[in-house]
């Protein structure tokens, strides 16, 4: 097993390298220069000053040289400094990860808690009124633009009712409150963002779950279970559900990079200082070091997530075993 | 996808705002913006009638305390004055630091850290007499050394400042004594004085610091009316009043810049009184802030911004090289309809490179009237006629058609594009519209001169120098004479204008420039939009003047009984 892991990890390094080459090229191919955007069309910024800025950022060098520099810093775990404010990229990313992670985790938990029962229930009651109604509901969540629902909810709960704050992640001066009150304050601020981010993701997983469940119910072993005279409840929840849950494990692994990716829309609308906004702002400003930093971390997590999904799958499903060098023994 | 598009819209609006760079009170240093502080440092004014209740006037004595909350669309990037190039940083730097000079409410240069100055040898030398007994927020005295230090850093080639341009013209700068500095220019340069609005930095704190790494960029220490208190990334920046400010302690104890990246959210925050001020769009001003709640809670202000919107033509293109065609295009644009329809009446016709609030503006230049017949006549004279009866003008078998480009996310400009497309169609000119993402728009189309016509806006500095935008030498990639305007007389006058220190003489020069440029119609000048700030009604002492409302921020106050936040 350890050997397998090691092999997988090493095998993924060239892949990672390839990803960085491609992303580096693509972001530099995008038109627009960081220096143009930085100075916001201010006529007081002279031509010479701009040329000087480009030189100081190393943008006058050919792309391969720029890439080489980036890579040589990266192997020393130095992501460089942002073009926008000269702060280390890693600092900028680290200060934004916690809040995004919190929101994404909460919404992921919410999605799984809701989508699995919804999927199972609609599969069991396939084509019933309940199935159709719930399908409609989750598809509304999937299809309706998130920003629009967000604004409607902000208007209703924030302005009309005044129950929830409109934006931000804490009230000003909340650091003087007790820990309990602070948590409550944070919770109030997070209700809408978490809901918005979960609502959109509900459709995917619940439909997936429904499909899996339908698939499993038709299997022979379910018929066997029924034939044995087991109560329907046991058939569904013990035999069918467990098997239908297996592919979901893969999804869980694949959602790993999403946990730190954040949602641009929700974060911008709710004024949350998270990763999505950092990435979006960096792209708009062509802040190459930050873009590369985020994409690199994203790539690492994606590869890691895949690996974890593979391993976890073998672990939960006895029918699948990881085959090591020694053959089928393991 | 849809939601993504919308998101971009909000964000693009911000870019649009960013683009309108306002050189503020502190002329060079501060490139301000249309979000709150831009409004503060705008120009002349016109107040909506404010209904003061008798109760409030009884208590409306100036009092210390309370906090002023504004929303900022962008996150500040760097609070070192010479590195602060974005508007959010600029507005904070403007509160924390001072320049040597600033613009007063009548848009005249007056002393800030300098008490006075003398101009000698016809402008070659400027001697600044510095204010005494000014202290940095950490208690250290401010001296001439700080000015020398700031200058050295501005021209230091290893520092990433975009503002070196005006300071490269200095031959040398010397400290005469603790309170006097003498600046010697290579040649007389009249915009020099206003360039000293650049914020001065503390030598004792930054001397040994690496400007790329120093923590000063997030913990600035200045001489200004407000001291930096803290900055929570992505959330807010908090400032507190400097009780020892040399012009007196500000009444309002604290200012808070909340970072809210979405326009729609900002407006919702205004409705819940989460922010105390906002720059409104024409639609918000005319239609969405007329309820009883808004009348009770806020005061709206309105004054022309120091900016204009125009259609630029590529003057290398043989068609646009012909003045008759450019004139015809302007004649066929109904600018009144445009202002009424797009700005909902909140703007004025623009007649050239200056706005009416500037002393350089020539009031005798009248805007061309809307005259389709005259436009058709001019086009026919230039050889463009509809010979084959297909509805489009042609010449030598080619139809008169071109592409009009503008940037994505600026709804006003897109509406302008659609409007002129329709109006030019009446002349028989076929216009295609292309909307391009801001970064690509600038670097791939505008900078590289790959365009036929475009819509953009300029925000103007208080000093009327036209060199960077209109001089024929400024056409390289990354310079600002995009349209490649070239006129020997204009070049000469611009050069003369920046050599002349006598304001009356300069005024004459700029009045002539204004006239020549409008007669030549190198672009179609469209409108000067109004700045439309709204400020919470509990804040008193807002006195609109030609420079806007923010110039006397330290005199704004909230009467004791109306204070909302406890600040100490």
Cβ neighbours of B125 (radius 10 Å) = 15
Binning pLDDT at 50, 70 and 90, where does residue B1 land? very low
pLDDT attached to residue B546 = 82
B3/A268 touch (CB, cutoff 8 Å), yes or no: no
pLDDT attached to residue B236 = 93
Binning pLDDT at 50, 70 and 90, where does residue A249 land? confident
Please state the φ and ψ torsions of residue B66, each to the nearest 5 degrees.
70, 175
- Tell me the two tokens of residue B176: 């005469």
pLDDT attached to residue B568 = 62
Residues of B in contact with A41 (CB under 8 A): 19, 21, 442, 480
Residues of B in contact with A166 (CB under 8 A): 265, 268-269, 272, 274
CA distance B414 to B455: 9
Percentage of residues in chain B with pLDDT exceeding 70?
89
Checking if the pLDDT of B36 tops 60, the result is: no
Sequence length of chain A is 330
Residues of B in contact with A148 (CB under 8 A): 3, 6
Checking if the pLDDT of B55 tops 50, the result is: no
pLDDT attached to residue A39 = 66
A271/B164 touch (CB, cutoff 8 Å), yes or no: no
pLDDT attached to residue B13 = 31
Residues of B in contact with A51 (CB under 8 A): 478
pLDDT attached to residue A192 = 92
Compute the average pLDDT of residues B10-23: 32
Are the CB atoms for A304 and A13 separated by under 8 Å? no
Checking if the pLDDT of A199 tops 60, the result is: yes
CA distance A178 to A173: 11
- Tell me the two tokens of residue B273: 């009184």
By three-state DSSP, how is residue A122 classified?
A: helix
Q: How near does any CA of chain A get to the CA of B262, in Å?
A: 5
pLDDT attached to residue B263 = 87
pLDDT attached to residue B475 = 87
Q: Which of A147, A172, A284 sits opposite B6 (nearest CB)?
A: A147
Q: Which of B19, B162, B476 sits opposite A49 (nearest CB)?
A: B162
A32/B442 touch (CB, cutoff 8 Å), yes or no: yes
CA distance A167 to B363: 46
A159/B3 touch (CB, cutoff 8 Å), yes or no: no
pLDDT digits (tens, 9 = 90+) for B439-487: 888 888 888 889 999 999 998 888 899 988 999 988 888 788 999 999 9
Please state the φ and ψ torsions of residue A62, each to the nearest 5 degrees.
-65, 155
B11/A86 touch (CB, cutoff 8 Å), yes or no: no
pLDDT attached to residue B28 = 33
Taking Cα atoms as reference points, which of A67, A73, A98 lies closest to residue A88? A73
B256/A172 touch (CB, cutoff 8 Å), yes or no: yes
- Tell me the two tokens of residue B203: 């030598």
Burial of A65 (0-12, 13-18, 19+ CB in 10 A): exposed
Compute the average pLDDT of residues B132-155: 94
A31/B439 touch (CB, cutoff 8 Å), yes or no: yes
Which regions of B302-381 does DSSP assign to beta strands (E)?
Answer: 303-304, 307-313, 347-349
* Chain A residue with minimum CA distance to B85: A39
Burial of B86 (0-12, 13-18, 19+ CB in 10 A): buried
Compute the average pLDDT of residues A232-251: 83
CA angle A249, A254, A257 (to 5 degrees): 140
Residues of A in contact with B265 (CB under 8 A): 151, 154, 166-167, 269-271
Checking if the pLDDT of B51 tops 50, the result is: no
Q: Which residue's structure tokens are 């309706």?
A: A144
CA distance B172 to B152: 10
- The residue among A239 and A101 whose pLDDT is bigger is A101
Compute the average pLDDT of residues A223-241: 85
Percentage of residues in chain B with pLDDT exceeding 90?
64
Binning pLDDT at 50, 70 and 90, where does residue B12 land? very low
CA distance A239 to B154: 74
Q: Which of B23, B166, B235 sits opposite A168 (nearest CB)?
A: B235
Binning pLDDT at 50, 70 and 90, where does residue B32 land? very low
Sequence length of chain B is 568
B443/A269 touch (CB, cutoff 8 Å), yes or no: no
Cβ neighbours of B67 (radius 10 Å) = 22
* Chain B residue with minimum CA distance to A57: B160
Distance between first and last Cα of chain B:
47
Q: Which residue's structure tokens are 């960085």?
A: A20
B163/A147 touch (CB, cutoff 8 Å), yes or no: no
Which candidate in B66, B90, B165 is best for mutational testing of the A interface (most A CBs within 10 A)?
B165
Q: What is the DSSP letter of B286?
A: I
Q: How near does any CA of chain A get to the CA of B398, in Å?
A: 32
pLDDT digits (tens, 9 = 90+) for B231-272: 998 899 999 999 999 999 999 999 999 999 888 899 999 999
CA distance A304 to A254: 9
* Chain A residue with minimum CA distance to B233: A273
| B186 CB-near residues (< 8 Å, 6+ apart) | B169, B170, B171
Packed helices B2-19 and A146-153: angle between N→C axes, nearest 10 degrees: 70
pLDDT attached to residue A242 = 83
pLDDT attached to residue A326 = 46
Helix H, strand E, coil C: the string for B124-193 is CEEEEEECCCCECCCCCECCHHHHHHHHHHHCCCCCCCCCCHHHHHEEEEEEEECCEEEEEECCCCCCHH
Q: How far is CA B56 from the centre of its chain?
A: 35
pLDDT digits (tens, 9 = 90+) for A136-147: 988 888 888 888
Checking if the pLDDT of A307 tops 80, the result is: yes
pLDDT digits (tens, 9 = 90+) for B487-528: 999 999 999 999 898 888 999 999 999 999 999 999 999 999
pLDDT attached to residue A322 = 58
Checking if the pLDDT of B48 tops 70, the result is: no
Q: How near does any CA of chain A get to the CA of B542, in Å?
A: 25
pLDDT digits (tens, 9 = 90+) for A109-160: 999 999 999 998 898 888 889 999 988 988 888 888 888 999 999 999 988 8
By three-state DSSP, how is residue B222 classified?
A: coil
Compute the average pLDDT of residues A52-59: 83
* Chain A residue with minimum CA distance to B4: A265
Residues of A in contact with B234 (CB under 8 A): 96, 271-274, 277-278
pLDDT attached to residue B59 = 56
Helix H, strand E, coil C: the string for B524-559 is EEEEEEEECEEEECCCECCCCECCECHHHHHHCECC
CA distance A23 to B73: 29
* Chain A residue with minimum CA distance to B83: A85
* Chain A residue with minimum CA distance to B160: A53
pLDDT attached to residue B85 = 83
Lowest average pLDDT, out of B37-46, B50-59, B414-423, goes to B37-46
Lowest average pLDDT, out of A17-21, B42-46, B63-67, B535-539, goes to B42-46
Residues of A in contact with B160 (CB under 8 A): 52-53, 56-57, 86
* Chain A residue with minimum CA distance to B210: A86
CA distance B548 to B104: 10
* Chain B residue with minimum CA distance to A31: B440
CA distance B319 to B332: 16
Are the CB atoms for A311 and A324 separated by under 8 Å? no
Binning pLDDT at 50, 70 and 90, where does residue A85 land? confident
Q: How near does any CA of chain B get to the CA of A211, in Å?
A: 26
Rg (CA), chain B: 24
List, in sequence order, every residue forming a beta bridge with B456; answer none if it has no partner. Answer: B310
Q: Which of A40, A47, A159 sits opposite B478 (nearest CB)?
A: A47
CA distance B320 to B164: 35
B158/A56 touch (CB, cutoff 8 Å), yes or no: yes
- Tell me the two tokens of residue A313: 């799958």
Q: Which of A31, A43, A268 sits opposite B7 (nearest CB)?
A: A268
Checking if the pLDDT of B182 tops 70, the result is: yes
Number of A to B CB contacts under 8 A, please give it: 192
Cβ neighbours of A185 (radius 10 Å) = 18
| B377 CB-near residues (< 8 Å, 6+ apart) | none
pLDDT attached to residue B397 = 86
pLDDT digits (tens, 9 = 90+) for B186-237: 999 999 999 999 999 999 999 988 888 888 999 999 999 999 999 998 899 9
Lowest average pLDDT, out of A101-110, A318-327, B285-294, goes to A318-327
pLDDT digits (tens, 9 = 90+) for A277-298: 899 889 888 899 999 999 998 8
What rounded mean pLDDT belongs to chain B?
86
Are the CB atoms for B532 and B281 separated by under 8 Å? yes
Q: What is the DSSP letter of A81?
A: B
Binning pLDDT at 50, 70 and 90, where does residue A31 land? confident
Q: Which of B160, B217, B269 sits opposite A166 (nearest CB)?
A: B269
CA distance A69 to A74: 9
Please state the φ and ψ torsions of residue B283, each to the nearest 5 degrees.
-65, -45
CA distance B485 to B488: 10
Checking if the pLDDT of A319 tops 80, the result is: no
| Cα→Cα distances B377→A35, B295, B371, Å | 45, 51, 10
A31/B10 touch (CB, cutoff 8 Å), yes or no: no
Binning pLDDT at 50, 70 and 90, where does residue B167 land? very high
| Parallel/antiparallel/unpaired status of strands B236-241 and B226-232 | antiparallel
pLDDT attached to residue B113 = 95
CA distance B421 to B425: 6
| A147 CB-near residues (< 8 Å, 6+ apart) | A265, A269, B3, B6, B7
Q: How near does any CA of chain A get to the CA of B177, in Å?
A: 30
Compute the average pLDDT of residues B122-142: 93
Q: Which of A36, A50, A147 sits opposite B7 (nearest CB)?
A: A147
Taking Cα atoms as reference points, which of A294, A32, A151 lies closest to residue B9? A151
Residues of B in contact with A39 (CB under 8 A): 85, 162
Binning pLDDT at 50, 70 and 90, where does residue A3 land? confident
**What would you measure as the largest C-alpha separation in chain A, in angstroms?**
85
Are the CB atoms for B367 and B348 separated by under 8 Å? no
Checking if the pLDDT of B376 tops 80, the result is: yes
């Amino acid at each position: 097993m350890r050997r397998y892991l090691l092999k997988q990890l090493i095998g993924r390094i060239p892949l990672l390298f390839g990803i960085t080459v491609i992303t580096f090229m693509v972001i530099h191919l995008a038109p627009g220069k960081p220096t143009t955007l930085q100075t916001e069309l201010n006529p007081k910024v002279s031509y010479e000053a701009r040329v000087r800025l480009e030189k100081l950022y190393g943008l006058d060098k050919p792309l391969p040289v720029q890439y080489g520099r980036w890579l040589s810093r990266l192997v020393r775990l130095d992501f460089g400094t942002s073009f926008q404010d000269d702060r280390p990229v890693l600092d900028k990313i680290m200060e934004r990860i916690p809040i995004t992670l919190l929101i994404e985790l909460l919404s992921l938990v919410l999605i799984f808690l809701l989508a699995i029962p919804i999927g199972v229930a609609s599969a069991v009651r396939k084509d019933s009124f309940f199935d159709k109604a719930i399908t409609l509901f989750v598809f509304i969540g999937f299809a309706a633009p998130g920003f629009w629902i967000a604004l409607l909810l902000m208007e209703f709960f924030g302005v009309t009712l005044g129950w929830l704050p409109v934006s931000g992640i804490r009230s000003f001066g909340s650091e003087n409150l007790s820990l309990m009150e602070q948590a409550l304050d944070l919770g109030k601020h997070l209700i809408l963002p978490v809901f918005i981010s979960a609502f959109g993701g509900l459709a995917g997983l619940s439909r997936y779950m429904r499909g899996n469940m339908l698939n499993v119910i038709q299997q022979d072993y379910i018929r066997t279970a029924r034939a044995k005279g087991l109560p329907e409840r046991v058939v569904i929840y013990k035999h069918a559900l467990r098997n239908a849950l297996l592919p979901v494990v893969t999804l869980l692994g694949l959602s790993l990079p999403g946990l730190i990716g954040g949602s641009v829309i929700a974060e911008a609308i709710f004024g949350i200082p998270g990763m999505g906004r950092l990435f979006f702002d960096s792209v708009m400003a062509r802040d190459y070091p930050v873009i590369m930093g985020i994409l690199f971390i994203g790539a690492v997590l994606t590869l890691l997530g895949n690996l974890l999904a593979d391993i976890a799958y073998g672990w939960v499903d006895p029918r699948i075993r990881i085959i090591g060098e020694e053959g089928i023994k393991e | 996808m849809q939601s993504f598009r919308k998101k971009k819209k909000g964000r693009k609006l911000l870019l649009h705002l960013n683009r309108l760079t306002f050189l503020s009170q502190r002329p060079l240093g501060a490139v301000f913006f249309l979000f709150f502080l831009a409004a503060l440092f705008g120009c002349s004014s016109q107040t909506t009638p404010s209904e003061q209740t008798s109760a409030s006037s009884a208590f409306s004595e100036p009092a210390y305390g309370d906090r002023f909350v504004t929303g900022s669309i962008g996150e500040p990037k760097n609070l070192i004055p010479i590195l602060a190039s974005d508007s959010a940083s600029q507005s904070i730097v403007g509160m924390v630091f001072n320049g040597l000079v600033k613009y007063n409410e009548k848009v005249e240069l007056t002393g800030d850290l300098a008490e006075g100055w003398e101009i000698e040898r016809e402008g070659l030398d400027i001697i600044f007499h510095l204010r005494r007994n000014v202290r940095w927020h950490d208690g250290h005295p401010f001296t001439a050394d700080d000015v020398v230090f700031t200058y050295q850093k501005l021209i230091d080639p290893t520092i990433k400042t975009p503002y070196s341009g005006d300071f490269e013209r200095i031959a040398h700068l010397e400290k005469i004594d603790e309170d006097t500095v003498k600046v010697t220019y290579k040649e007389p340069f009249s915009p020099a004085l206003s360039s000293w609005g650049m914020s001065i930095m503390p030598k004792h704190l930054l001397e040994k610091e690496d400007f790329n790494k120093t923590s000063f960029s997030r913990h600035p220490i200045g001489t200004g009316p407000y001291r930096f208190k803290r900055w929570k990334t992505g959330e807010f920046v908090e400032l507190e009043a400097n009780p020892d400010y040399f012009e007196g302690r500000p009444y309002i104890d604290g200012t808070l810049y909340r970072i809210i990246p979405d326009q729609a959210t900002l407006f919702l925050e205004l409705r819940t009184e989460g922010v105390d001020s906002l720059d409104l769009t024409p639609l918000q001003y005319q239609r969405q802030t007329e309820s009883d709640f808004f009348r009770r809670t806020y005061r709206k202000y309105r004054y022309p911004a120091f900016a204009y919107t125009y259609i630029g033509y590529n003057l290398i293109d043989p068609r646009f090289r012909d003045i008759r065609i450019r004139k015809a295009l302007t004649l066929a644009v109904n600018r009144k309809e445009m202002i009424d329809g797009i700005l909902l009446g909140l703007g004025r016709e623009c007649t050239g490179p200056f706005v009416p609030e500037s002393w350089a503006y020539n009031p005798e230049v009248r805007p061309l009237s809307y005259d389709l017949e005259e436009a058709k006549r001019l086009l026919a004279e230039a050889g463009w006629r509809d010979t084959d009866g297909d509805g489009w003008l042609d010449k030598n078998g080619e139809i008169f058609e071109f592409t009009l480009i503008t940037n994505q996310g600026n709804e006003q400009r897109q509406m302008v594009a659609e409007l002129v497309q329709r109006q030019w169609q009446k002349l028989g000119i076929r216009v295609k519209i292309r909307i391009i993402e801001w970064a690509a728009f600038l670097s791939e189309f505008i900078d590289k001169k790959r365009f036929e016509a475009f819509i953009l806006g300029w925000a103007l500095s208080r000093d009327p120098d036209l060199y960077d935008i209109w001089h024929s030498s400024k056409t390289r990639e990354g310079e600002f004479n995009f349209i490649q305007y070239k006129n020997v007389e204009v070049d000469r006058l611009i050069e003369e204008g920046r050599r002349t220190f006598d304001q009356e003489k300069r005024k004459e020069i700029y009045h002539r420039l204004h006239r020549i440029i409008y007669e030549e119609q190198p672009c179609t000048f469209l409108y000067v939009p109004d700045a439309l700030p709204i400020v919470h009604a509990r804040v008193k002492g807002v006195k609109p003047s030609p420079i806007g409302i923010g110039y006397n921020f330290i005199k704004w106050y909230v009467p004791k009984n109306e204070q909302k936040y406890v600040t100490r």
